[in-house]
């Protein structure tokens, strides 16, 4: 998509060409086997599809004056030559910055990038934003229409790769989009029916590309460290049957120590800049878990303080919900429930809210309320693993 958009400068054309290339791949690859370089194959076929579309459009367009035609070069050959020699594998980062144009509202920027760059469905994006699919569909449609107007020059918004200053201005939105991609893949892990796990690797790859552009930016270091520290636990998060294993019950010998070391080193480097930000704080929380050899060694008091800092930096009911888990460890389930209950209106459609609340009620012996909370959580589960985990709690209620 990024390579096609770079050279044809038409989002709808690039999407159509890419989809047609995928359809042809589904027809030919099972018979002939996949090509050595799948991306190059898709780009080549997509390019030809797009060129055919351009030719058809040209037949419906009046020819320019003869004097203009006489000096026109073979535009199609030039496009093909540029695409064949392009470093298209890094074009995705360029496309990210294009989607995150400041003329678009931030929510539209992230939604569009998730849809166009990472291929998430409208439903998946809607879940990430805690809105309905219909609302998210409208948001994405408006963003695409805005870009189409920009491409046609109707509103004077240049649809170009940003320069250094513009990249810095858009960096926060790009980072947020990358972390949403990571979370979509992270939440899908362990679910055999879900093919989104590769998104975690893609998000980490994109973050590394950002680090190449912004080598002294502590928040990008923090973002990369955060994802590495979380991904390091991947092998221990589910059992052989795909059932969820909570952090306290994970076999820490399965944690990826090389990934943890890299994440901790990046976090330490970021902290030395003395420019704290939300990703660095979240990475610091993940680091406290990573450094604890046993669950009982976890510094929950420090985690509580870090979540308190995060609430000031980036107020969110989800952050408060996470802080309540630390409070439960420090002061017990009743104190944690007092923090969780006021969040109900804002998190009524959030799976983890009902799961955490049900667990706290269960610890307090309020069985009927706990069962209600768990049933609601199951209805909101987005993966089979999430639903099975809650059912195991329900089975334990008497």
Domain with residue 133: its CATH number is 1.10.10
Torsion angle in degrees (nearest 10) through CA of 352, 354, 357, 358: -110
The total number of structural domains in the chain stands at: 4
Is 84 in contact with 48 (CB distance < 8 Å)?
no
Considering the domain architecture, whether residues 282 and 341 belong to the same structural domain is answered as: no
Q: HSE (CB half, 13 Å, CA atoms) of 350?
A: 20
Rounded-to-integer distance, Cα 78 and Cα 306, Å: 54
Rounded-to-integer distance, Cα 397 and Cα 20, Å: 52
Rounded-to-integer distance, Cα 51 and Cα 260, Å: 47
- Residue 77 is predicted with a pLDDT of 45
Residue 378 falls inside a structural domain: yes
- Residue 107 is predicted with a pLDDT of 77
- CB neighbour class for 68 (10 Å; exposed up to 12, middle 13-18, buried from 19): exposed
Considering the domain architecture, whether residues 285 and 258 belong to the same structural domain is answered as: yes
Interior angle at CA 65, CA 61 and CA 70, nearest 5: 110
Considering the domain architecture, whether residues 269 and 196 belong to the same structural domain is answered as: no
Task: Dig out the tokens for 270 from the structure.
Answer: 């970021």
Can you give the residue range of the structural domain that contains 282? 216-233+250-298
364 backbone dihedrals φ, ψ, rounded to 5°:
-85, 0
Tracing tokens 């990024």 back to the chain, one arrives at 2
CATH of the domain at 330: 1.25.40.10
Is 197 in contact with 184 (CB distance < 8 Å)?
no
Is 15 in contact with 55 (CB distance < 8 Å)?
no
Rounded-to-integer distance, Cα 368 and Cα 358, Å: 10
Rounded-to-integer distance, Cα 350 and Cα 129, Å: 10
Residue 245 falls inside a structural domain: no
372's enclosing H/E stretch is: helix 367-380
Considering the domain architecture, whether residues 37 and 65 belong to the same structural domain is answered as: yes
Considering the domain architecture, whether residues 318 and 370 belong to the same structural domain is answered as: yes
Sign of CA dihedral 253, 258, 261, 263: negative
- Residue 76 is predicted with a pLDDT of 43
Considering the domain architecture, whether residues 207 and 222 belong to the same structural domain is answered as: no
Q: Which of 109, 112, 116, 110 is nearest to 92 (CA)?
A: 116
Rounded-to-integer distance, Cα 40 and Cα 368, Å: 57
Residue 331 falls inside a structural domain: yes
Residue 224 falls inside a structural domain: yes
Q: Which of 199, 1, 176 is nearest to 106 (CA)?
A: 176
Task: Dig out the tokens for 30 from the structure.
Answer: 């099972």
Considering the domain architecture, whether residues 176 and 221 belong to the same structural domain is answered as: no
This model's pTM is above 0.85: no
Rounded-to-integer distance, Cα 268 and Cα 306, Å: 16
Residue 367 falls inside a structural domain: yes
Q: Calculate helix-pair angle for 133-152, 106-116, nearest 10 degrees.
A: 90
314 backbone dihedrals φ, ψ, rounded to 5°:
-145, 70
Considering the domain architecture, whether residues 139 and 223 belong to the same structural domain is answered as: no
Instruction: Name the domain boundary from 66, 86, 106.
Output: 86
Residue 386 falls inside a structural domain: yes
Residue 244 falls inside a structural domain: no
Residue 240 falls inside a structural domain: no
Considering the domain architecture, whether residues 150 and 109 belong to the same structural domain is answered as: yes
8-state DSSP, 123: H
- Residue 62 is predicted with a pLDDT of 59
Provide the residue-wise pLDDT of the chain in tens; the chain has 398 residues. 878 877 777 778 888 899 999 999 999 999 888 888 888 889 889 999 998 888 887 776 655 554 443 343 444 444 444 444 445 555 777 777 778 777 778 778 878 888 887 777 888 888 777 788 999 999 988 888 877 776 665 554 555 556 667 667 778 888 988 898 888 788 765 554 444 567 788 889 889 988 987 889 999 999 999 999 999 999 999 888 888 899 999 999 999 999 999 999 999 999 999 999 999 999 999 999 999 999 999 999 999 999 999 999 999 999 999 999 999 999 999 999 999 999 999 999 999 999 999 999 999 999 999 999 999 999 998 888 888 889 988 888 86
Rounded-to-integer distance, Cα 113 and Cα 42, Å: 20
């Amino acid at each position: 998509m990024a390579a096609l958009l770079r050279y044809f400068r038409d989002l709808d054309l690039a999407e159509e060409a890419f989809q047609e290339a995928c359809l042809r791949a589904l027809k030919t690859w099972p018979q002939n086997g996949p090509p050595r370089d799948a991306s190059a194959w898709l780009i080549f076929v997509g390019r030809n599809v797009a060129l055919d579309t351009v030719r058809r459009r040209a037949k419906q367009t009046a020819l320019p004056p003869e004097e203009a035609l006489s000096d026109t070069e073979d535009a199609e050959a030039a496009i093909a030559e540029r695409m064949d020699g392009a470093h298209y594998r890094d074009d995705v980062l360029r496309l990210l910055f294009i989607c995150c144009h400041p003329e678009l509202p931030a929510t539209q920027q992230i939604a569009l990038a998730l849809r166009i760059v990472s291929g998430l469905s409208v439903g998946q994006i809607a879940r990430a934003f805690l809105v309905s699919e219909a609302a998210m569909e409208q948001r994405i449609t408006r963003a695409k229409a805005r870009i189409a107007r920009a491409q046609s020059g109707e509103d004077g918004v240049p649809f170009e790769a940003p320069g250094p200053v513009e990249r810095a201005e858009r960096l926060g939105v790009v980072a947020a989009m990358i972390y949403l991609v990571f979370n979509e893949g992270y939440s899908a892990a362990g679910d055999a029916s879900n093919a989104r796990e590769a998104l975690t690797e893609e998000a980490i790859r994109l973050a590394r590309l950002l680090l190449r552009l912004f080598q002294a930016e502590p928040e990008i270091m923090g973002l990369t460290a955060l994802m590495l520290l979380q991904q390091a636990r991947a092998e221990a998060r589910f059992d052989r049957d795909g059932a969820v294993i909570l952090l306290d019950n994970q076999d820490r010998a399965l944690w990826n120590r090389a990934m943890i070391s890299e994440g901790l080193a990046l976090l330490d480097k970021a902290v030395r800049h003395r420019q704290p930000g939300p990703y660095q704080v979240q990475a610091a929380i993940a680091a406290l878990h990573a450094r604890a050899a046993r669950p009982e060694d976890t510094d929950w008091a420090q985690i509580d303080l870090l979540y308190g800092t995060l609430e000031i930096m980036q107020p969110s009911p989800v952050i408060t919900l996470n802080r309540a888990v630390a409070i439960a460890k420090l002061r017990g389930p009743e104190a944690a429930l007092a923090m969780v209950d006021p969040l109900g209106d804002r998190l009524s459609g959030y799976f983890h809210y009902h799961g955490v609340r049900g667990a706290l009620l269960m610890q307090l012996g309020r069985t009927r309320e706990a069962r209600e909370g768990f049933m609601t959580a199951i209805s909101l589960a987005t993966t089979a693993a999430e639903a099975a985990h809650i059912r195991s709690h329900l089975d334990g209620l008497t």
